[in-house]
């Protein structure tokens, strides 16, 4: 599984905007949810909508996932931003903010 680009993106372009659904990170009873959570804050993790849960890890990523807390009427969001130019067909990769489990 993974996410692949259908378009050309320049460095700094917004690749995807995803709604984030934060939840307390203490004692998450569901192991599947625990294994697929994204770091949100010191006391919260989140799951994301869109393709945000399918990006694979790389130590040399071409995208960065940026956390944007809710403000006003705008909900919690995850923005995926290109770190360099990306060509169509290229896999979109992020660097996980936690130690990979493999």
The answer to whether the CB of 4 falls within 8 A of the CB of 93 is no
**Quick one: pLDDT at residue 92?**
98
3 Rama sector, left if φ>0, alpha if ψ -120 to 50, beta otherwise: beta
The CATH superfamily assigned to 3-94 is SET domain (2.170.270.10)
Residue 25 to residue 102: CA distance in whole angstroms: 21
69 pLDDT higher than 90: no
The more confidently predicted of residues 98 and 67 is: 67
33, HSE (Cβ side, Cα atoms, 13 Å): 15
The more confidently predicted of residues 89 and 38 is: 89
pTM of the model: 0.84
The more confidently predicted of residues 45 and 58 is: 58
**Quick one: pLDDT at residue 102?**
47
Overall average pLDDT of the 65-94 stretch: 94
Residues in the chain: 102
Per-residue pLDDT tens digits for 3-54: 999 999 999 999 999 999 888 877 666 666 666 778 788 888 888 899 998 9
Q: 52-68 burial by CB neighbour count: b if 16+ within 10 A, else e?
A: bbebeeeeebbbebebe
Domains of the chain, by residue range, sit at: 3-94
Overall average pLDDT of the 89-99 stretch: 85
90 pLDDT higher than 60: yes
């Amino acid at each position: 599984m993974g996410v692949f680009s259908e378009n050309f993106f320049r460095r700094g372009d917004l690749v995807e905007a995803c709604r984030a659904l934060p939840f307390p990170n203490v004692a998450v009873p569901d192991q599947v949810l625990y294994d697929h959570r994204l770091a949100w804050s010191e006391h919260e993790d989140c799951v994301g909508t869109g393709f945000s849960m399918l990006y694979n890890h790389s130590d040399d990523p071409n995208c960065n996932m940026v956390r944007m807390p809710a403000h006003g009427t705008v909900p919690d969001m995850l923005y995926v931003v290109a770190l360099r130019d990306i060509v169509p067909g290229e896999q979109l990769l992020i660097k996980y903010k936690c130690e990979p489990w493999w």
